[in-house]
Amino acid sequence: MQEKLLRIRKAHLESQSVLAKLIGVDLRTYQNKEAGITQFKSNEMFAIASHYGMKIDDIFMPTNFMNHEVN
């Protein structure tokens, strides 16, 4: 689940449809990405980060990333 993205999107009062259009995918595809079922492509992450004036890692990096073990 892209919890940071969800919080940011809601703070900007934007619907999932707005971001789906931004990255050029249908709504269901976007919903799957935000839910963590499928992953965002790098160009989609750049577009969303640019849209919000943020860095990619501020949106897409897990909050507790440093606690994650890399396999």
Instruction: Please report the domains of the chain, with CATH numbers, ordered by start residue.
Output: 3-62 (1.10.260.40)
Cβ atoms of 44 and 37 closer than 8 Å: no
The two tokens of residue 14 are: 């934007």
Q: Give the predicted TM-score (pTM) of the model.
A: 0.85
| 3 state SS for 4-71 | HHHHHHHHCCCCHHHHHHHHCCCHHHHHHHHCCCCCCCHHHHHHHHHHHCCCHHHHHCCCCHHHCCCC
pLDDT at position 62, please?
Answer: 75
- On whether the CB atoms of residues 55 and 49 are closer than 8 A, the answer is yes
Lowest mean pLDDT among 3-7, 31-35, 63-67: 63-67
pLDDT at residue 22, as a whole number = 98
pLDDT value, residue 1: 85
User: How confident is the model over 26-61, as pLDDT tens digits?
Assistant: 999 999 999 999 999 999 999 999 999 999 999 998
pLDDT at 65 over 70: no
